[in-house]
Chain A
Amino acid sequence: MQITLNGNKVECEKGKTILEIAQDNDIRIPTLCWQEDFHPEARCRICLVEVNGKLMPSCSTKIQKDMQIETETEKVKKTRRMNLELMMADHLKSCFIDTSNHELCRIVAEEGIKNIRFEPKKQHGKDTSGRAVVRDPNKCISCGRCVQACRDTQNITAIDFAYRGHKSKVTPYFEKDLHKTYCIKCGQCILSCPVEAIVEQDHTEQVIKHLADPKKHVVVQTAPAIRASLGEEFGNKPGTLVKGRMVAAAKALGFDRVFDTNLGADLTIIEEANELIDRVKNNSPLPMFTSCCPGWIKYVEHFRHDLIPHLSTCKSPHEMLGVLVKTYYAEKQGINPEDIIVVSIMPCTAKKFESAREELGNDVDYVLTTREFAKLIKLKNIDFNQLDEQDFDDPLGISTGAAALFGATGGVMEAALRTAYETATGKSLAKLEFDQVRGTEAIKNGSIHINNIEVKFGVAHGMMNACELLESYKDYHFIEIMACPGGCIGGGGQPIPTTWEIKKKRIEAIYNEDAGLSLRKSHENPVLKKIYEEFLGDIGGTKAHKLLHTGYVEREL
């Protein structure tokens, strides 16, 4: 099909939108409410172009034969600018243009708008009560992207539009505070928001305060998914592994010890694989669901009380490591656990909620997202890319490739299968890679024979897909669910933008990390072997159970 785009004849495929054709031809059309992989709602009216003299939203107008499309006529520019001014008028007073993530301000700058002809009028209350996700509705431009993310990828709809006209706003249902709702704190809304109206609760100040306090022994741990994404905050290409520089940066920030959450992940796998084998042997509730994703846990606690007995009782990796730091490590070093502050760098906003759970006590004191960690590094003027690579500190710095996999969807399953198979059968796996659980398909499944039992496993990522898998959960023995699409590398605390293209690069990096390590099975982690011998006792034993396992509560809808 042929169309005319800014005077040039362009051949294009049927069924594409004007915006897609423009992107294919490197023609800039600014957008705000449009986001990849979602049905365009054509709300913001920023992407309007002139089609045969009439203004049409390019995001949702499909091309037709002989269309005459102009993207930069006077009419287009004038209309776009006016609509931007209308958005900015109320947004501006509460906006601090300090980041490049801010799409609205970037477009306003590109359009050369210097003067807003309207006075700010609206005044909304902020919702900063939550430990994980906070909202400033004054910045909101009603683009609806967070609502789409919450509804269409996560199937939660904790937030939606209420009221109408200029009084319409995005709000949790019944205008509750977000932390009093069934929001699962996954933070996908944060990744969607073009104006930072919805962000994580900032804990950087508290961490800075503790770092400056000589009486405190401040320990930091970094999640498996961070090393594959942190580099993006400093201009590295998506998929760059920055493990060594990340450790160096943490040390430069003044943390007393830099430990690896991957060791906690190995520990989780050992306990979880053991629990799975136990459940199969003892006819305990099957399937067993993984429990390392706090968003998924919160979902079950709100929506599926019937599945609570199916959740693995293992704490998540950073909580396990937190416990080890405040018990084993404190004991060994002779430090009073009360003087230890554990900070976890997580790709996740729900971890902030998790760390505040009563039953988990003070195992972890603060959780910072990848973005907050980058902010700390920038605040300290550390030239991240010039840092010399460093190793994690002893004794909690050694981990295996299996733990590295935790960052990608299917990774926990693969790591658990490696250990479950080998510990239960006593045989070695010929091939460590479980291709059935790799990749970004919505739902993955497969099976493996362990001691003549066919163990069926399923993997889902993104709550919408998870809900689909839950329709037939009884078909499986073991299910991994990650609330965020792509797994933790697509977590709500990750650098913005987090698109599928970027997520796939990060996943690639994670599989490369695993493949490059000599130790690739959790149960072969030498440090953990020693810790079990010296401190924890038996796998799944009384002490291990007391320290490393937890319980869940039924929450209201």
Chain B
Amino acid sequence: MQILEKSGLEAWKKAKEMKPEKVISLLNKKGLAGRGGACFPAGTKWEFALNSESDKKYVICNADEGEPGTFKDKYIIINNPETLVEGILIACNTIGAKHAYIYLRREYRYLEKNLTKIIKKIIKKADTDIQIDIVLGAGAYICGEETAIIRSIEGRRGQPYYKPPFPAVEGLFGKPTIINNVETLANVPLAIIKDDWNPNLRLFSLSGNLKNPGIYEMPLGTSLKELIALGKPEKSIKAIYFGCAGGCIPFNQEWKIDPEFINSTGCMLGSCTMIAVDESQSIVDIVTIIAKFFEYESCGKCTPCREGSMRILSLLEKISLGYANMDDIKLLEELCCVIRDSSLCGLGQSSTMHILTALKNFREEFEEKCRLR
């Protein structure tokens, strides 16, 4: 796998010799896009932070892998932490930060000990005064959102705030900050040092009704059929969920895994999470379970997400139990759109995508529940 290759600090040495602008343009040329879900070009993000004048700057590695069904960052932290730490050092050096934080989700705290050891080792080997600290989250899903991470590290209530100002201009403790996902940062040294580094190779977290769930590295553009086959489904697959927040599509063998195409279906590829759902499952039940997740994980700051997620759950429970009528489906749909359009942060905005896409692709399952009435 490409992601398991090591640079052995060669990339760090090379980047240190280069001007920051050159590192950034190299990353842009190589096409390194953010792997956290938004696919924002990593180099461009760094450029904003580089150009922000400040006495202090920070780098945050987002290891709060909270999206259900996603476990690629854990895979990297376990199997190639050296390259990840090297990537963080390169990021610090490029934008001029002396301090970096790894925001590790609480559920991964058993990785902390080894990661601390590796950080010490790499920093010593790299002979740098950059400091890397691990901050453990408290388990809130919202703290994977970049502004909420900032608040959480600052010791405040982990809630997102309205951007602008963007973190690259005014982030942690009011200083320019870049926040990159684990996979993005782990790819930085490889992109710098390997001539044959392929930007299209992504880590897919496969789970659901599969015999062989796990992490698979495949290029974007692979067909759904090929990818799901890796996970060895036992029954015929009905739908694919892109995590909880990414929405669902019917399992069409010919469709290709391509971010733009996935977007056109109303879903989001996000961090390449795929939960396979076979025909024995009820979509309404799955949607209800996910809605429960979002109801529990809403931070409560803005009205639509705080109040709406609770209302959505009760509407779905009503549908699921067969007490609903068609008006309830209409209300559900309207509410989902309002939450999508008016929530404050990305979490709220994407929290109803799974319902809207389920209503689009599997509407008959919802209507059938209502007809029972």
Answer yes or no: B308 CB below 8 A from chain A CBs. yes
Does A86 contact B307, Cβ atoms closer than 8 Å?
yes
The 3 closest A-B pairs by CB, nearest first: A168-B300, A86-B307, A165-B298
A60 to B164, CA, bound (A): 9
Of the listed stretches A77-85, A255-263, A371-379, A434-442, chain B binds A77-85
Does B300 contact A87, Cβ atoms closer than 8 Å?
no
Answer yes or no: A114 CB below 8 A from chain B CBs. no
**Total residue contacts A-B, CB cutoff 8 A:** 89
Answer yes or no: B26 CB below 8 A from chain A CBs. no
Answer yes or no: B122 CB below 8 A from chain A CBs. no
Of the listed stretches B197-205, B233-241, B331-339, chain A binds B331-339
Does A164 contact B338, Cβ atoms closer than 8 Å?
no
List, in ascending order, chain A residues with CB within 8 A of B164's CB.
Answer: 62
Does B309 contact A44, Cβ atoms closer than 8 Å?
no
List, in ascending order, chain A residues with CB within 8 A of B296's CB.
Answer: 165
| Chain A residue nearest to B314 in the complex (CB) | A121
Contact with B along A58-70 (1 / 0, CB 8 A): 0010100000000
Does A45 contact B306, Cβ atoms closer than 8 Å?
no
Does B344 contact A82, Cβ atoms closer than 8 Å?
no
Does B304 contact A45, Cβ atoms closer than 8 Å?
yes
Does B344 contact A168, Cβ atoms closer than 8 Å?
no
With A41-B162, A60-B162 known as contacts, the answer to whether A79 contacts B297 (CB < 8 A) is no
List, in ascending order, chain A residues with CB within 8 A of B299's CB.
Answer: 164-165, 168
Q: A67-113: which have CB < 8 Å to B?
A: 75, 78-79, 82-83, 86-87, 89-90
Does A165 contact B303, Cβ atoms closer than 8 Å?
no
Excluding A121-B310, A161-B300, A163-B300, 14 further A-B contacts by CB distance (< 8 Å) are: A45-B343, A46-B303, A57-B344, A82-B304, A82-B334, A82-B335, A83-B303, A86-B307, A86-B311, A165-B298, A165-B309, A165-B310, A166-B309, A167-B300
Does B342 contact A55, Cβ atoms closer than 8 Å?
yes
Answer yes or no: B161 CB below 8 A from chain A CBs. yes
Answer yes or no: B157 CB below 8 A from chain A CBs. yes
**Interchain Cβ contacts under 8 Å between A and B, 6 examples:** A41-B161, A48-B342, A78-B334, A142-B303, A166-B307, A166-B310
Answer yes or no: B295 CB below 8 A from chain A CBs. yes
List, in ascending order, chain A residues with CB within 8 A of B194's CB.
Answer: none
Answer yes or no: B301 CB below 8 A from chain A CBs. yes
List, in ascending order, chain A residues with CB within 8 A of B162's CB.
Answer: 40-42, 57, 60
Does B338 contact A82, Cβ atoms closer than 8 Å?
yes
* Option from B157, B161, B306 in Cβ contact (under 8 Å) with A166: B306
Answer yes or no: B341 CB below 8 A from chain A CBs. yes
Does A44 contact B302, Cβ atoms closer than 8 Å?
yes
List, in ascending order, chain B residues with CB within 8 A of A46's CB.
Answer: 303
Q: Which of B301, B309, B342 has the most CB of A within 10 A?
A: B342
Shortest CB distance A63–B (Å): 12
A62 to B164, CA, bound (A): 9
Answer yes or no: B140 CB below 8 A from chain A CBs. yes
List, in ascending order, chain B residues with CB within 8 A of A118's CB.
Answer: 311
Does A79 contact B310, Cβ atoms closer than 8 Å?
no
Answer yes or no: A117 CB below 8 A from chain B CBs. yes
List, in ascending order, chain A residues with CB within 8 A of B342's CB.
Answer: 45, 48, 55, 79, 83
A168 to B331, CA, bound (A): 24
| Chain B residue nearest to A32 in the complex (CB) | B303
With A57-B162, A82-B338 known as contacts, the answer to whether A45 contacts B310 (CB < 8 A) is no
Chain A contact residues, CB within 8 Å of chain B: 40-46, 48, 55, 57, 60, 62, 75, 78-79, 82-83, 86-87, 89-90, 117-118, 121, 141-142, 161, 163-168
A294 to B176, CA, bound (A): 43
A142 to B335, CA, bound (A): 19
Shortest CB distance A58–B (Å): 12
With A62-B164, A86-B307, A86-B308 known as contacts, the answer to whether A42 contacts B302 (CB < 8 A) is yes
Shortest CB distance B316–A (Å): 14
A379 to B222, CA, bound (A): 76
* Option from A40, A44, A79, A165 in Cβ contact (under 8 Å) with B341: A79
A118 to B310, CA, bound (A): 11
| Chain B residue nearest to A61 in the complex (CB) | B162
With A165-B296, A165-B310 known as contacts, the answer to whether A79 contacts B338 (CB < 8 A) is yes
Does B306 contact A83, Cβ atoms closer than 8 Å?
no
Does B307 contact A43, Cβ atoms closer than 8 Å?
no
A86 to B312, CA, bound (A): 11
List, in ascending order, chain A residues with CB within 8 A of B310's CB.
Answer: 121, 165-166
With A62-B164, A161-B157, A165-B310 known as contacts, the answer to whether A86 contacts B300 (CB < 8 A) is no
Q: Which of A75, A79, A141 has the most CB of B within 10 A?
A: A79
Shortest CB distance B106–A (Å): 15
List, in ascending order, chain A residues with CB within 8 A of B334's CB.
Answer: 78, 82
Q: Which of A42, A75, A83 has the most CB of B within 10 A?
A: A83
A121 to B164, CA, bound (A): 35
Shortest CB distance A49–B (Å): 11
| Chain A residue nearest to B343 in the complex (CB) | A45
Shortest CB distance A209–B (Å): 41
Does B302 contact A86, Cβ atoms closer than 8 Å?
no
| Chain B residue nearest to A82 in the complex (CB) | B338
List, in ascending order, chain A residues with CB within 8 A of B335's CB.
Answer: 82
A163 to B142, CA, bound (A): 13
Shortest CB distance A341–B (Å): 45
List, in ascending order, chain B residues with CB within 8 A of A168's CB.
Answer: 299-301, 306
Shortest CB distance A62–B (Å): 7
List, in ascending order, chain A residues with CB within 8 A of B341's CB.
Answer: 55, 75, 79
Does B308 contact A142, Cβ atoms closer than 8 Å?
no
A142 to B301, CA, bound (A): 8
* Option from B309, B314, B344 in Cβ contact (under 8 Å) with A42: B344
Does B303 contact A44, Cβ atoms closer than 8 Å?
yes
